[in-house]
Amino acid sequence: MERSGVEPDKAGSVSVKAKREGGFFDTVKLVTQALLIALVVRSLLFQPFNIPSGSLIPTLLIGDYLFVSKYAYGYSRYSFPFGLPPFDGRILGTEPKRGDVAVFKLPKDDSTDYIKRVIGLPGDTVQMIDGRLFINGKIVARERIGNYRDDEDTAPGTGPEIPMYREILPGGVSHVVIERYGDQGPWDNTPLYKVPEGHFFMMGDNRDNSADSRDMNTVGFVPYENFVGRAEVLFFSIDGAPAWQFWKWPNAVRWDRLFSRVH
């Protein structure tokens, strides 16, 4: 009788312990699977980025959060976290198109993420003359469409008004640019650039406030291998506050920009 009185207690103890261990390992398994799925999505499909600077104003604003498609240009070692697996060139590659807004690794250090617009393709010549863009010796069409009010350093509605233009690239892609200093800004007159094979010429839409391929010492020509992906859609946008301060969302979120495509 003593033995029969003890055995159920032991069996019950073992059963509870097994359930606890089973629950723990199930949780670990679930978390591991979720992390692997997130890693695959981030490496092969979409990666989120946020915009910390104004070089692509008015297309992208400080505080924008967007998804970048990793598959758009195929995969290089820069497509994967920490540059792994290490290999040269691209697989399943499709070259960027003129007018794409793309994320790439800065050629000078191969680690810093930059986002700019593809302006020059391999073999093109690119030059700025008196604020006008020339590609392959031909001036790029543009039309004045009004002013952009820059409230970045001022109270809302009190910032300076900056000339805004719609520029139409060869091939028909159009986008909006601003000229903070008119047509005589620091990079509005440049040498003639010849884009090498396997490289691209990148520029910001905020023409007078963008470190891009016009500055050979900072960016220069961008190798095809360095492209991370193409900007696709804004999934969040907030003005003047970090995204985690959710109590400021009602007034700070730019609701009209959510889920808009980048072009």
Which positions are catalytic? 55, 116
Q: Rounded distance, CA 126 to CA 98, Å?
A: 12
Q: Give me the numbers of helices (H) and strands (E) for the chain, helices first please.
A: 2, 14
Residue 196 is which amino acid?
P
What kind and span of H or E run contains 142?
A: strand 141-149
Q: Rounded distance, CA 55 to CA 177, Å?
A: 10
Peptide bond between residue 85 and the one before it cis (omega within 30 degrees of 0): yes
Q: Rounded distance, CA 116 to CA 152, Å?
A: 20
- The answer for residues whose C-beta is within 8 angstroms of residue 242's C-beta and 6 or more apart is none
Q: Rounded distance, CA 150 to CA 27, Å?
A: 49
Q: Rounded distance, CA 114 to CA 53, Å?
A: 10
Nearest 5 degrees, angle CA 125-CA 177-CA 126? 5
- What one-character DSSP code corresponds to residue 248? G
Please name which of 200, 258, 197 lies closest in space to residue 226, comparing C-alpha atoms: 200
